[in-house]
Structures are given as structure tokens and as C-alpha cells.
A and B are shown apart, each in its own frame.
Chain A
Amino acid sequence: MQKKLILDSDLLDITISRLCQQLIENHSDFADSVIIGLQPRGIYLADLIRQKLKKLAGKEVPVGYLDVTFHRDDFRRREITKASEIRIPFIIEEKKVILVDDVLFTGRTVRAALEAMIAFGRPSKVELLVLIDRRYNRDLPIAPDYVGKTVNTVQSQKVLVELVAQGHQQNKIWLINKD
């Protein structure tokens, strides 16, 4: 098994700062904007973005966590994954939602997230922010609005995100070759 480092702690910090600057450009005062992190791993990135936005723009943007387990289209086709908590402490109706996930791969999770989100209201706009965009692997016509880093991968490879918030020593993003 080969491991290749894609992003280290410093680069990750720069990347998140850049993503936040792009968000500030598009949302200016964040009056109607909310961030929704996708369970289980997107929530850590969502929290990092919230902290960074507070630092850079002095704005406290509400963050929610969304779990898409019950909306997946591969239920009964593979092992059951455990559902995580959904915590959306605000009303989505007429808000600008920034969906946040760590890795964009087939796009199926994002499709499920769009469906799951409808139960909480009708947003005026939905954007997608991902840390890693795995190019050439999309099953669905889904494209991110904000990308931390684009990597070229093949199906058998895996992107591993290790964040301090998840209990790791250092922030590190790896590309893993399974063979």
C-alpha cells in the first residue's frame, strides 16, 4: 500500500483561507448564508470553515450537520452504514446553503444530501464546497462551486483525510494506492 501526501498542515490552512476568501467574495455579509457539513467527515471541515470565516470576516455563520444515510441510493446494495446525528438548528427556507464535504468522488452523497435537505425547507440557493475534488470519478452531473484541491485519481485509489479535530496528530490529506 502506497501513501502519498497531497496536503499537509500548512497547505491545508492556506487552502481553507483561500476557500473562505472565495466565500466572502460571493456572500459578502453572510446575512442569509448557512453552512451544512455532511456527516460523518464533512462536519469537521464545516467547523474549520466557520472558525476561519469568523477570523477573516468577523462573521458567525450558522453551521448544521446533515446525515444522508437514509437517502442513499445504494441501500441494500452494500453494507449498512451507521446513521449519524442530524443537527440543523436553523431554518433553511430561503437561505443560501453552502454544503461542505471533505472529498467529492462519485457525487452520490451530494445527490442524497440535496434530497435530504428538502425535508428542512426550500433554500434559495445551494452551493457545494469540497476540500478534495477527485476528477474523472463522477457518476452524476454534479460539480463543486469551491474546490480546495483537485486530484486526478482512478477508481481503486482512496483519499484519506486526517484532521486534528478527528483525533489525529496533525492535519494531513493522503492519496492511497490500494494494491
Chain B
Amino acid sequence: MSRLSQKHLLGIKDLTEKDIELIFETADTFKDVLNRPIKKVPSLRDVTIANIFFENSTRTRLSFELAEKRLSADVVNFSTSTSSVKKGETLLDTVNNILAMKVDMVVMRHASPGAPHFLARHINANIINAGDGTHEHPTQALLDTYSIRETLGTVTGKRVAIIGDILHSRVALSNIFALQKLGAKVLVCGPPTLLPKFIKNLGVQVELDINKALEWCDVANVLRIQLERQQLKYFSSLREYALYYGITKARLDSLKKPIIIMHPGPINRGIELSSDAADSAHSIILDQVENGVAIRMAVLYLLAGVTA
């Protein structure tokens, strides 16, 4: 029978290649469901899910909530701005209180790396990491690789360049793990100040010249410059960054072969990605968002089944 090797989805690092394949196959069937007139199945009707977001989010949160509702789960939402966390309650207390109200699964985003791992050691519910600081964002990596598989037919053997703010990006780390597990070649590209010091130890190539990186790859996953996490000045100005690392239509047109442009959102238009490139035929950014719901349905469905 088919089941995941994990009880939680904390990071791509813990998943096996088989797990990822199973999630993809399940997502295929849910994508089917999402294209029907009635986009809902009753699988999780006896499951209650808490979405706990200690950090801002639009896409991920909306996507998770839609996925949960499409599976007929009961959903409670929680965000720090309106909660008792402001009064000084600890993370464990907050979550235990939520669980006391009989919640089966927790989807959590937190600014501290490892926060979901900490919870997984202390509580009984299934935990899904929706982003922990600069560490991992597993569902994003799953939907990114799923979108590549959908567009190119396979991930194995493809060349993927991850471009931009690698240092502050949880999307980058999760993507590197997922792509490598599926047999893709990975390159990271960005200004030296935004590349982690020992990134080569993960077995990825490093390239400082954006033109060479784009020429090398089949897929460019462009990351957002995360100004909110940058306490230091990593480059002189946004204009300079846009000039040297920004992806424009002109840059894409100058390449020998067409490549695919992805972005996890939200886009800083005109900085890492120009509007004409983001809205061009190269871009599969909106497909990524569409696939996000199917992937999250697959993850929720498979994890909910593990408790049996």
C-alpha cells in the first residue's frame, strides 16, 4: 500500500524520493478534482486543521485553506496579530491550547528555524511546516518541482538555476533538497554577499554571472529579495541589483534556447524580475500557484491517512 514515511512534513530533507513521487501522483488526481464542476471531496470531513501563522502570508495561507476546504476538513485560522502571543504566551502553550480544542493537524509558519521540529517533539498532531524562518518551506519546493515535472515531463536530468537571495531563502534550501532527490542538477546564482558561505557542500554549482547561469539552465527559479530579513546592507542599491541580477525580457531573448521562469511570489516587479519577463510566455508563475492547491491537498490527505 502507499503511505508516506513521515508522520509530519517538517522539511524536504526527511522525505524519500518515493514519498515525493507518491505526493506527485496523489496531486495529479487532486488536480483532476480541481478541474471538475464540483471541486470538493469528502475525505477529511472528520479532521480539524489549525492554520497557525506567526508570519505574514497570502499565497501559502490561502492555498492551504483552500486545499483544506476542498478536502472537507474543518479549518480554524490563527494569526499572531490578533492573538494572545502578543500578551507573551509561549509557542508550546499556544499550540497546546489549540490542541486541547481537539485539532488533528497543524499547519504552521514561524520566523524561527526549527519551530515546527520543536513542536513535533512535544505534541501529537500531524505538523506541516509552511515555512520556518530561513530554513525550509517544503510545500513550496514540492509545488515548484511538480510544476517543472508538469511543464518538462520530468525533473530528472534537468538543469535548474536558483537565482537571487539564497542566504535568506527557505524556498532555496527546500528546492535544492527536492531537486537533488529527484535527480536534477542545481546551480545557485546571486551576488556573493547573498550566497551562504558553505553552499557548495550541498553539492550545488555556484555562479556569480547571471548571463552564464541563464545560458546553462532549463529552468530559472527566481527568488525575492527579502528586504525584511536583511538587517545589513548586502548590496549597494536595489537599482544596482536589478541591473546586475534582474531578469528582463531582453536578457531572456538573448539566450540561445528558451527557458522557463518560476517565482515563488510575491514578486518585487522591476527588481529581481521585470514585468515583461514575469508576464511573458516563459513564465509559469501562475501555474505554480494553481498546482500549489493540488500539492497541499495531496500532502494533507496523505498525512491524515498515516494516523490510521
Contact = CB atoms under 8 A, between A and B. Distances in A.
B1 A76 contact: no
Interface in B44-69: 44, 46-47
B33 interface: yes
Q: Which of A69, A75, A118 is packed against the most chain B CB atoms within 10 Å? A: A75
A126 B302 CA distance: 32
Given A80-B302, A82-B25, A119 B308 contact: no
A67 B41 contact: no
B237 interface: no
Contact of B2 (A67, A76, A81): A81
The secondary-structure label for the interface of chain B is: loop
Given A70-B33, A119-B36, A119-B37, A79 B3 contact: yes
A85 interface: yes
Interface string A109-136: 0000001101110000000000000000
B29 A115 contact: no
B111 interface: no
A67 B308 contact: no
A119 B43 CA distance: 14
A178 interface: no
A117 to B, nearest CB: 11
Interface string B21-37: 00001100100110011
Nearest to A119: B38
Nearest to A77: B308
Contacts, number: 60
A76 B305 CA distance: 5
The interface residues of chain A, by DSSP majority, are classed as: loop
A86 B307 CA distance: 27
A94 B302 CA distance: 35
B231 to A, nearest CB: 45
A135 B3 CA distance: 32
Interface string B265-308: 00000000000000000000000000000000000011011011
Contact of B29 (A77, A79, A83, A119): A83
Interface string A61-78: 000000101111001111
Nearest to A82: B2
Contacts of B40: 119
Contacts of A120: 36-38
A162 B92 CA distance: 54
Nearest to A88: B36
Interface of B: 1-3, 25-26, 29, 32-33, 36-38, 40-44, 46-47, 71, 301-302, 304-305, 307-308
